[in-house]
Chain A
Amino acid sequence: AQTVTQSQPEMSVQEAETVTLSCTYDTSENNYYLFWYKQPPSRQMILVIRQEAYKQQNATENRFSVNFQKAAKSFSLKISDSQLGDTAMYFCAFSLRGGATNKLIFGTGTLLAVQP
């Protein structure tokens, strides 16, 4: 069975600074996807970034980038130039590639507060 672990329940960063959120996962499979979702106070889940395990290149989306270390089963999210609107709960999630479903397995989340 796959598991996702986020060991930082809460983090804080100053506006315009850079912050890194950690995520580790466990799987015996070789083909999978990893995601970071953002859940702001509105509680709407928003996909931030996606990484395909077979791709060595780290995914980037504007100010958001990941550090994907497949051998270490680590998948951290870096937010550059933090903005007040980045304040949210961030969830790391895993999904098998080629599985019968798109089932997502979530970590417990990291609450990020961006301070002015």
Chain B
Amino acid sequence: DGGITQSPKYLFRKEGQNVTLSCEQNLNHDAMYWYRQDPGQGLRLIYYSQIVNDFQKGDIAEGYSVSREKKESFPLTVTSAQKNPTAFYLCASSPRTGGFYNEQFFGPGTRLTVL
């Protein structure tokens, strides 16, 4: 089955700790994205990557970091610098970017709670 997997589904973190959220896709997509979802708000873009070893900040990148060492993987690290990290995090991928739109496919999400 082709798709996007995110792990874990639920994640708990103590204040001051860094934590890494996993996102893997086997759709052979070039582009990958991380969104954050808070109650009463839509999804907001944290980081995106159009190609391996390259990524750009989205609208709310402060306190987050990413890497893109493999086409299939785009992990997100929530650092202790993120002031309000409790949220639902969604990963997405699309075939390519630029020129015309390619549908973004979403993973099932990770719920992060800071204790």
Interfacial residues, chain A to chain B (CB-CB below 8 A): 4, 9, 33, 42-47, 50, 52, 91, 93, 95, 97-109
Cβ contact within 8 Å between A108 and B42: yes
Task: Tell whether, in the assembled complex, residue A104 and residue B40 are in contact, meaning their CB atoms are under 8 Å apart.
Answer: no
CB distance from A22 to the nearest CB of B (A): 15
Contacts of A46 in B (CB 8 A): 106
Query: Is B41 on the interface with A (CB-CB < 8 A)?
Result: yes
Q: Is the CB of A103 within 8 A of B45?
A: yes
Q: Is the CB of B43 within 8 A of A100?
A: no
Are A91 and B40 touching (Cβ within 8 A)? no
Which B residues lie at the A interface, using CB under 8 A? 31, 33, 40-45, 48, 50, 56, 58, 88, 90, 92, 94, 97-104, 106, 108-109
> Which of B42, B43, B98 has the most CB atoms of chain A within a 10 A radius of its CB?
B42
Show 13 residue pairs from A and B whose CB-CB distance is below 8 angstroms, ordered by the A residue. Answer: A42-B108, A45-B90, A52-B101, A99-B97, A101-B56, A102-B94, A102-B97, A102-B101, A102-B102, A102-B104, A103-B58, A104-B43, A106-B43
Residues of A within 8 A of B42 (CB): 4, 91, 93, 105-109
Contact B101–A100 (Cβ < 8 Å): no
Q: Closest Cβ of chain A: how far from B74's Cβ, in Å?
A: 14
Partner of A99, one of B33, B56, B92, B98: B98
Chain A residues lying within 8 Å of B50, measured Cβ to Cβ, are 100-101
By a CB distance below 8 angstroms, the chain A residues around B41 are: 108
Chain A residue, CB-CB nearest to B90? A45
Known interface pairs A100-B97, A102-B97. Does A44 touch B106 (Cβ–Cβ under 8 Å)? Answer: yes
Q: Please determine whether A95 and B103 come into contact, CB atoms closer than 8 angstroms.
A: no
Which one of B97, B99, B103, B108 contacts A43 once the chains associate, using CB atoms below 8 Å?
A: B108
Are A45 and B98 in contact, with the CB atoms below 8 A?
no
- CB <8 Å contact, A108 and B40: yes
A104 to B48, CA, bound (A): 11
